[in-house]
Amino acid sequence: MGYLAEEQQLDDPLALEHQVCFSLAVASRMVIGLYRPVLAPLGLTHPQYLVMLALWQFEPLSVGEIAQMLELESATVSPLLKRLEASGLVVRERAAENERRLTVRLTPQGRELRSQAESIPAQMMERLGLDMGQLQDLNSALQQVITKAGRAEAGEPGSKSGDGSG
């Protein structure tokens, strides 16, 4: 990095490069940035792509189910769904059994888009320079972080929160 002597950085628990939060934030921004040109031909943003992934796997879903799967608030998901509906990829319908529940289904165009999207994982492996095993290991480690952070956030016994590691 060059800002401090390396021996100082190794001893400093608050050194920027030692902070997991910093590494995750930068990695997230950079990886999502790599998705932009891959998703552009499909007419999707990264958040819209995540919604479509959920629907391709589990359609039909309620707005609340999509929000829960993506770890987002329903108020964040609703505008994404409106844009996807305006693009002709999904349809939002009131559930017959519960008028308050909004169900989301793919249109034929939304289903067809899946075949184009099937090349995205391979394109991302190439862009990242990682093989399938490396990506699976990374994803497994990130899933552990997500699970443990969720437990800590919920205050579950045995989870460590506030331990000072960034």
Residue 89: CATH number of its domain: 1.10.10.10
**Exposed/middle/buried for residue 61 (C-beta within 10 Å: 0-12, 13-18, 19+):** buried
Q: Indicate whether 51 belongs to any domain.
A: yes
Q: What is the pTM of this model?
A: 0.84
Q: Indicate whether 129 belongs to any domain.
A: no
Q: Indicate whether 116 belongs to any domain.
A: yes
- Is residue 2 scored above 80 in pLDDT? no
Displacement of CA 157 from its chain's centroid (Å): 27
Q: Indicate whether 161 belongs to any domain.
A: no
Which of 61-65, 87-91, 109-113, 152-156 shows the lowest per-residue confidence on average (mean pLDDT)? 152-156
Q: Indicate whether 54 belongs to any domain.
A: yes
Residue 56, classed as helix, strand or coil, is: helix
What's phi and psi for 49, nearest 5 deg?
Answer: -60, -40
Q: Indicate whether 68 belongs to any domain.
A: yes
**What's residue 1's pLDDT?**
47
Q: Indicate whether 93 belongs to any domain.
A: yes
**What's residue 95's pLDDT?**
74
CA gap 50, 67 in Å, rounded: 11
Domain that holds residue 100: 16-122
Residue 30, classed as helix, strand or coil, is: helix
Q: 17-57, pLDDT tens digit by residue?
A: 899 999 999 999 999 999 999 999 999 999 999 999 999 99
Report percent pLDDT > 90 for the chain. 77
Q: Indicate whether 87 belongs to any domain.
A: yes
- Is residue 5 scored above 60 in pLDDT? no
Give the count of beta carbons closer than 10 Å to the beta carbon of residue 125: 14
Average pLDDT (70-82) is: 95
Q: How many domains does the chain have?
A: 1
